Amino acid sequence: MEVVRSQRKSSVPNDAVSTLPLYRSAPPLEVRLEDFEFYAIDRLRVLKGISDGLSRGKKPDEMEKLVYDLWKENMRHPQASEVVNKDIISHFVLRLVYCRTEELRKWFLSMETTLFRHRFLHENPEVQKALFAEFDLPYKAVSRAEYETVKDMLNQVARSIGQSTDAIFYKVPFEEVPELVAGRRVFIKEGNAYIAMSQVVSLVVTQFRSHLSKALVLTNRKWTSRIREQEKDRLTPIIEALSTSYLGPDYSQPTKHTDISLKDIDQIAKSSFPLCMHHLFGKLREDHHLKHGGRMQLGLFLKGMGLKLDDALAFWKAEFSPKVGAERFDKEYAYSIRHSYGKEGKRTDYTPYSCQKIISSTPGVGDHHGCPYRHFSEENLRAALTRMGVGNRAVEDMLDKVRNRHYQLACTLTFEAVHGSSCDAGINHPNQYYNDSRKILESPNNSSNP
């Protein structure tokens, strides 16, 4: 797969590529640089949506609908003939992105395997058989004579999984279908598992996962030995940024909830700030000072809420006044506030920090920025959540997510507990938390409208 800056000149015909590729080798396609990144981002939205669904413990039928909707929404293309190409290109770009560390490989392998499973199940039986044949597996259907010897046991299994008792069965080594064995959904005899045609997905998915796992290791070798250095001025920056990319709105432009008055900010902070900003705001009121990292994280969040520059200067000056005189504030702090609003220096209009950026920060001693779900001790996190009014049972659910490193999901559960309302999209940005909170609290149906 070659990345070019010119218009793509050729494409693979639709009838030459399965609607569900097995991604065994990179296609001989020319890919525009912008497509290289945009296609990968669209697929990443699918994989991250799957990850969120799994973390939230969605049921199989819910996951099936989620995957279908995510794919339909994100993997479209204006040209029908390019849909398959987008699928293949995006997979291989993300394979390059996620081959670089063991943790990245593990996540990508799990999400792509889940995606493949659901897409396989969505295909019709003829396509499933064709894909099964592509793996060239050495398994044959159980003969009639052998079937008669184990018929009673196979019929029991068939009935237990809702399968017709006259189903075709395959005999495979039991270690190749571990999930079916663990779920007691197969009959095992002499080291072989008898699987119905409807269960072939388990066999196919195992083979897909095995192939992709090996391919990721090989891709990593190519990346470290050759690609990273060769593409250091073009593709490498894109590749290294994609795994930590925030894919949602940047909140550089405030939404309709922009009537932010300084006299109301305490009430708004109490009702609509996510824990990270709630903590920073509290520490600012308590200490009348924040270090640079805290000022940037909270300041840009307030900017994204709709706080105007003049009000921001007045807010920070008033908060710092018990420790910092007006002259010192104007000299040491006012410039950086104006700078963050794009009024000084290079006139860069800075955007509020996403959850991904906050989670990946590394607060030092005396710092209060960062993500409480990641950076707080369990004891401190429990106390902070309790102060926000979260009940004991909900706190335990959040701590369980934190132990499994699902920090944004823990924040989502906090939002749901505080507002008594579901947040199916998940929390991905502090300003999203704020906006969604205001929508709920300002709803005509909400009696607690502050």
Per DSSP, the residues of 236-252 read: HHHHHHHTT---S----
pLDDT at 222 over 70: yes
CA-nearest of 41, 17, 23, 405 to 243 is 41
Claim to verify: residue 334 and residue 395 sit in the same structural domain: yes
Rounded average pLDDT over 162-189 = 81
- Residue scoring higher pLDDT (429 or 255): 429
CATH number at residue 54: 1.20.930.80
**How much is the pLDDT for 13?**
36
Claim to verify: residue 318 and residue 423 sit in the same structural domain: yes
Place of tokens 């770009």: 93
Give the integer Cα–Cα distance in Å for 212 and 108. Answer: 10
Claim to verify: residue 214 and residue 193 sit in the same structural domain: no
Which conformational region is residue 215 in: left (phi greater than 0), alpha (psi within -120 to 50 degrees), or beta?
alpha
Claim to verify: residue 294 and residue 163 sit in the same structural domain: no
Report yes or no on 257 lying in a domain.
no
Residue 276 among known ligand-binding residues: yes
Residue 371 among known ligand-binding residues: yes
**How much is the pLDDT for 121?**
87
What does the mean pLDDT of the chain come to? Answer: 88
**How much is the pLDDT for 167?**
67
Claim to verify: residue 334 and residue 388 sit in the same structural domain: yes
Report yes or no on 67 lying in a domain.
yes
Claim to verify: residue 311 and residue 401 sit in the same structural domain: yes
Where does the pLDDT of residue 89 fall: very low under 50, low under 70, confident under 90, or very high at 90 and above? Answer: very high
Claim to verify: residue 200 and residue 212 sit in the same structural domain: no
Q: Is residue 217 packed enough to be buried (19+ CB in 10 Å), middle (13-18) or exposed (0-12)?
A: exposed
Predicted TM-score (pTM) of the model is: 0.70
**How much is the pLDDT for 200?**
80
Report yes or no on 425 lying in a domain.
yes
H/E run at residue 189: strand 187-189
pLDDT at 255 over 70: no
Claim to verify: residue 306 and residue 416 sit in the same structural domain: yes
Give the integer Cα–Cα distance in Å for 20 and 145. Answer: 35
* pLDDT one-digit tens code per residue, 223-248: 999 999 999 888 899 898 888 777 77
Give the integer Cα–Cα distance in Å for 231 and 93. Answer: 13
Where does the pLDDT of residue 1 fall: very low under 50, low under 70, confident under 90, or very high at 90 and above? Answer: low
Q: Which two tokens stand for residue 201?
A: 């997905």
Report yes or no on 27 lying in a domain.
no
Q: Which two tokens stand for residue 132?
A: 């099964």
Report yes or no on 447 lying in a domain.
no
Report yes or no on 153 lying in a domain.
yes
Residue 99 among known ligand-binding residues: no
Q: How far is CA 306 from CA 241, 255, 299, 311, 350, in A?
A: 28, 8, 11, 10, 13
H/E run at residue 410: helix 407-419
Claim to verify: residue 220 and residue 362 sit in the same structural domain: no
CA-nearest of 286, 250, 191 to 431 is 250
Total domain count, the chain: 3
Residue 423 among known ligand-binding residues: no
Q: Which of 202-206, 212-216, 411-415 has the lowest mean pLDDT?
A: 202-206
**How much is the pLDDT for 31?**
83
The domain of 409 spans: 264-442
Which ranges of 23-82 does DSSP label H, i.e. alpha helix? 33-55, 60-74
Give the list of residues 6+ apart from residue 101 with CB closer than 8 angstroms, or none: none
Give the integer Cα–Cα distance in Å for 306 and 194. Answer: 63
* Number of other residues whose CB lies within 10 A of the CB of residue 131: 22
Report yes or no on 2 lying in a domain.
no
Claim to verify: residue 283 and residue 415 sit in the same structural domain: yes
Rounded average pLDDT over 251-262 = 71
Where does the pLDDT of residue 181 fall: very low under 50, low under 70, confident under 90, or very high at 90 and above? Answer: confident
Claim to verify: residue 89 and residue 233 sit in the same structural domain: yes
pLDDT at 364 over 90: yes
Report yes or no on 61 lying in a domain.
yes
- Residue scoring higher pLDDT (258 or 201): 201
C-beta of residue 35 within 8 angstroms of C-beta of residue 2: no
Claim to verify: residue 90 and residue 162 sit in the same structural domain: no
- On the CB side of 401, CA atoms within 13 Å amount to 23
What proportion of the chain, given as a percentage, has pLDDT over 90?
Answer: 57
**How much is the pLDDT for 164?**
64
